[in-house]
Structure 1
Amino acid sequence: MLPEAVPNARIMRFGYESAWYGTDGDDPKKTVVADVAEMLLKELELHRRDITWPIIFIAHSYGGLVLMQALRRSFDHPNKWSNTFYHTAGLVFFGTPFRGRAGLTLEKIVEAVAQNHPDYKMYPETMALSVEENPHLQDVVKRYTETRIRHPVPLCCFYETQPSPIGKTLQNPEVKDGYLVPEAAACLDTSIGVARHPLQRNHYNLQKFPGSSDMGYRVVKDEIVLMVNSARKYLRGYSNVTQDRPFIVPFGRNENFVGRESVLQQLLERIPPSTNKDDCQRSALEGLGGIGKTQVALEAAYKIREKHPDCSVFWVPAVDATSFENAYRDIGRRLGVKGVDDDKADVKTLVNAALSQESAGSWLMIVDNADDLKLFADATLSDYLPFNRNSSILFTTRNHGVAAWLDIPQKDITTITEMNNDEGTKLLRIGLKENQMRDAESTGRLLEFLANLPLAIKQASAYLARTGMSPLRYLQYCQSSDETTIKLLSKNFEDRSRYRNTNNPVATTWLISFNHISRDYPLAARYLRFISYLAEKDIPVSILPPGESELETDEAIGILKGYAFIMERNEPDSFDVHRLVRLATRNWLQTNGEWQEWATNVFQRLTKKYPFPKHENRAIWMRYLPHGQAVLQLRNECANKATGLLFNVAESYFVLSKYNEAEQMHRQILELREQVLGKEHPKTLGGMNNLALILRRQGKYEEAEQMHRQTLELRERVLGRENPDTLASMNNLALVLKSQGKYEEAEQMHRQELELSERVLGKENPDTLTSMNNLANALDSQGKYEEAEQMHRQTLELRERVLGKENPSTLRSKRT
């Protein structure tokens, strides 16, 4: 009758041997449920023609427990079972014993049946009475119910209202009514959205009907038809709910991703948050630089999104502390974490706390390029890795020491090696014409020369696609290269610990590409040189020297993308450069004698582009900061010794409250200015003042006081006592005196500075008003409250008139 009721449905029947209890002493408690559930999932794998179609399950009695086990197993391992759980759009249970009858153990049931019905087989319908005494069966119901609360699929329970013959033979007061699975046992709690209906039948005939006119059948049919008609709408609705889960991954999906099935399978069995319900599991993907770790992790991220739509995915680059913090800030913004955009916010702590809360839901974090152990050990980035039992963290690293230090067990570390020949051939073939791939022998020889390293294969494929060259000709170019140049490039790799195992074929491939780009695309070659001095991630297009036109700039960037030297991000105005490409380009520049020239060019460009950090331009300088930091490491190799870039980067660290870094940079600025300009130059004195300010922020009051006194003395002699810079030094010295509790001296200094400011700048000058405010604070610190109050009132009145009532300084005066 069912095909007539739902003519557009494909109906499948699954049966199993239900006379499972024998006399050989085997314990069926676990094996029946687990083994039969496995069989059900395997049969679905074999017979489902389209795994995207919705599924409605109908189960009778003990089969309902088998179904619950199967659904939970599919929930835990979606990639193994074609996402059966998430494609289930309805469940119908006939007399499934979600709860048993109290006081009935399996032994009592066996004894009673043996006495009254010696030839009767022990069917699961009878065994169902022992659910109450069976922890395993209770756990099956409990674990499915947990998923049911999170994923409320339409569900209906039918229960018997007539006794079964076998029921009364058990001679137990709990079943004297003769019901095997009455309403209390056969129905899940209505509070979790479960419909329940009685049927005028006993347990054995609960799902059997004499014809389509039977009243019980009509009730069942209506429920099933309703589920069928609303199945796709339900799945779409669920998809709409889950699609809002954050997916913060800075790269689009690589449509040309090939191979790596075994590695992906290992990851997808290990990294879903549901794999270990008692821990926030950590896994690692490790291997040689350029081997394809990031691409594998990226594909895994998209597969997790497909198979676990309720799981958020976060991508966190760990190239350095700044990129780590920037990624956390993006996560915090998406999650709406309060205070994450404040200038002095501890972003990592805020986001760590938010993701550690149970309310964050299920998430996967991919910490990419976790190669520098010092970042996790010395810089304590590991302290900011969140802990949430609903979640999982995957690290990609070329340094096994990082995985070991993070206490990741060997069983949870996946090592990725070079591609096999089939995978390498598929990757090389992408974008090529058929006639370029006809010579299988030459293709195999080229892949062998490239060591089947994915990055090298991508470079070759991009070049072959661009030029139409054959793999044989390309191989001949590789083999005819200058051996000395190859050795130099290889030696440079070996001298850098992060790329110690990089081999010659990769270097040779890049050298050929560098030379051809230089010959055919001069601006692209210049950009490649320029990029090699910057940090590797999130390079803004605006930081590059402009071409003659925007079109020329776009074409040059497009060429570099075509060679896969740079990788496009989701943001159209930025890209990444691969670490090996960056290193090889630097080696190229050194080999050609261009290193210092380009270091100077890049330094001058960054000095010009890097803005003085303010709150209003924070988005710009935060993106430039990693690149400014990278370029400053080359300062000693540049012909230009200007301190503008160093100063702006130092001030960026000051705004971020990273005073140690700011102090080091300001000391360098002061040293350079003393060398170039002399100790008494106004800019040198400004450098002394800035360093003293940093020292005060760090609580190094004595050193700050000494430097402020020295600065004040020099400014008075060089600039004069009434120069605004001299007045600023007086004010700063007074502040550091107050910080040390030297209130009387601080007051005296503030009075002198205020008197001079009023005469030189005028009583209503904003700097003069600041001096008044500081003097009032000094008075307040000594308990001279009346005089302090009078001066604060005077300051507030003047600020309201001069600056306006809503100016930040005015508002601070009101609070004071």
Structure 2
Amino acid sequence: MSEEQADSMEIDDPSIQDTIPDCEHIVDWQDVISDTQQSSGTDSFLQEVIRSGAFHNKESTEPSRISTAQAKAEAALDAKEQAEIAMLTNKKSKRSLVKSDQTRLNFLQQSVAKRAEERAAREVKAREAEERARASIGLPRNEHFVCPEDLFGRIAKQSSEPASCVALVGLGGMGKSQLALEFAHRTAAESPEVWAFWIHAGTLEDIEEGFRRIAECIKLPAQNVPWDDLYQLVCDWLYDEQNGPWILILDGADDPSVFYKISDVTNVLRFKRRPIGSLYLLKSLRRNSSIIVTTRNKDLAGTLTRGHGSIIEVGPMPVVEATSLFRKILGPKFQPASDMNAAIHFVKGLGLNPLAITQAALYLDKYLPKATTLANYLKKLEENTVEKARLLNFDANSIFKTWEAAFDFIRSQRPSAANILSLMSYFDRRGIPKWLLVSDIRDNNNPRANSPSIMGRLELDDSEGDMNDDSTDTFDGDIDMLMNYCIIAANRTRDMFEMHALVQLAARASMSNTEAQKYCAQFIHRLAAEFPSNPLGYWSTCQELFAHVQAAAKYSPSDDALEDWAILLYDGGRYARLLGDYETAKHMSNKVSKAREMISEEEQTEREAIRLLENSSLTALILMDQGLYHEAEGQFTHVTDTFKRMEARWETARSNTLTSMNNLASVYRVQGRWKEAETLLTQVRYHRAELNKVGASALATLANLASTYRAQGRYVEATALQEVVLESCKTQLGEGHPQTLTNKSNLASLYRIQGELEKAEELQIQAMNGRDMKFGREHPDTLTSMNGLASIFRAQGRLWEAEELQVQVVELRRTKLGENHPNTMASMNNLALIFYEQGKGEKAIELQSLVVDMCKVKFGDSHPHTLTSINNLALIRKSQGQHQDAMRLMKSCSDNRQDILGPKHPYTISSMAALRRWIE
């Protein structure tokens, strides 16, 4: 391989220590030289919505008295016969009508008149049916109701079964009552012979009122009749087939105590003579009658339909219908071109809940600021939970009030279930683990599990419930109740729960300030105790809990939870950094800094002071990951100097000093200050040996030292040390540990530089696959291995494979890290080299020129990375016959490399040799 081949670039990522993360952050832009390369639903609020036409569907029509096909056929026949009548009448006026024509004319006129009479009779009958339905149901029909036809079809099909009893079950506000109301009115309109009755089943008084209304509709004596007698009269009438078919809606049957008197011994029937429910009312069912129950309580639904029917769960609206509902209420304030995407996202955030969507739209229609576009306002609402709560709670009959009534009922019946609900409202809405709800502190080898700041804070108030009850039955009973009322859902094994974000918001809004602080603190204490302080050692636990850490970051805890909150977000920030989610990591780290500042100096213990500096170190590592080396250096210098001063007071600070020196050396290395980096790392290595420190931190220091040797062109020393580090990592940490994978990737790069391409490929593939399995394809560490493998392919002459892989890395790094990140720039450099070796000179020059300009801005004219990019551009221009430009660039690169890298560095020797040949 000729000496005029280009220098490639690679960036390897850091190894991590448990407390303050040690980093091994290599920014080595490959240099290839010589021969190697590199609801209730029926309250006043809903009636207002019905009258407003909020559920209007442009394609909806008046309820059909006859089938659409029959109506079309009649209209066509009328038109045909009227035309013929007109023709015959015209002939008659001209005295040319024969006898047969007269007979035909008489027939047609009678036929048309008869159909008109039939239509009029049907209209009268339909109006009578509607009037009867309005009287028996007691609620007007919502003519503009929008309903998914598949759901409505299920209700119609199951209700058409002989003696059927169907329960519509779902969270408040999902439209159960509206579905039942539409079904009742539609049935009455299309089948006038069917009676439709409606009973509000919220209280005993509501039920009695409903039965008296039925009695009035069917002309039974209702005034001054005792309840038991009235109930029996109505049920007997319903059972008599001579009275015709009927449907009965039991709406809002949520409270079992309305139907059963609950005692500790048994369930006593509310009505001694004729209990409503499955034991008598269902006996009134005949083959041509049906009952529909709407309820939030699954258990009660099963009881009321026992042995007679089925349960249909009513869930969220389809997105299209939900967006149409939102759009219709807002009218001209909704601009489809600019607001549609925001509206779709917003209604999804409301859980596609019809009542919540209606409530929000009515609020926006009334209070949307004139100077604010709907799209912008909706985006702001997503982040402002206070404003969102106000939006959904401005009406006396709002969705929050609907849910609050359910919460109050649960609290009155089972306080322990209400306590769990309050606690769960602070979690992320998905993936709430049972073990975090039922247990106190578990010992998962978490060193904080027994810390004074956490122990003793997890109990719920015994006066309100028993979260610490050892009985599994107690917890399971609480969960049963919450699930029965559709407040939460569970997976098949019932060890993972979820609830809707709006329900959580409503639950938090229903608490007093004292209650809110208490349950927020309990949530934080539990999570802080369980989230691992060593993410790499307990990766799966971090994965399971991280969404809840992100939820915790949004709260402002009380003073007694502030310390645990800071600990939790620090560990969460470290995990986010390892995920490559640098913005989230920085956000959490910033919150930790503010929390630590709130702790008074009198409370600043040794541990607190160290934690403050640990967080500063984490911030510096994040800055370095983002390519902000100057800012990272400032942070690390401050941390190192502070720890050195602390050593006089606290001996334990010595270990932290060494870690911060190691990290500072890493910044020096990525800045090209290799001698300074080597000096620091040598000191750290010596003092850690003196302290008899072994393990991941000591291995990270050795790996960083090997990387520094490599950056200086001391490949033999670097390889020998890197091989020792890798074997130690395998033994101490395991084959799949992230630090082991990092060292595999680094050693593979050293093998590639020295031409051992088969060994390099095998090792880099192992590193890439391990990182892919651990972190995913788009993680920065995985992209580092992909970048290294693409360079190996290029060195092997497998240019098309190299291009395919390198293009993926460039695109993913641009998306993940940004175009100006050193890793992205290195990938762009390597892609330009592939274009160059493929003979795509113009594309190579265009891309490499861009890299040179970006390096000068990012690093300065004399940084090693900038010089590598200039070296490569010179070689590419030379290959395209641009001799003068190539000579100028290589001369500048050669001179600067002698000053920066030294005359004996392999990169310097390569540039000088190329320049000499070109001059000769």
TM-score normalised to the size of structure 2?
0.37
Q: Which has the higher helix share?
A: 2
Larger Rg: 2
TM-score in terms of structure 1 length:
0.41
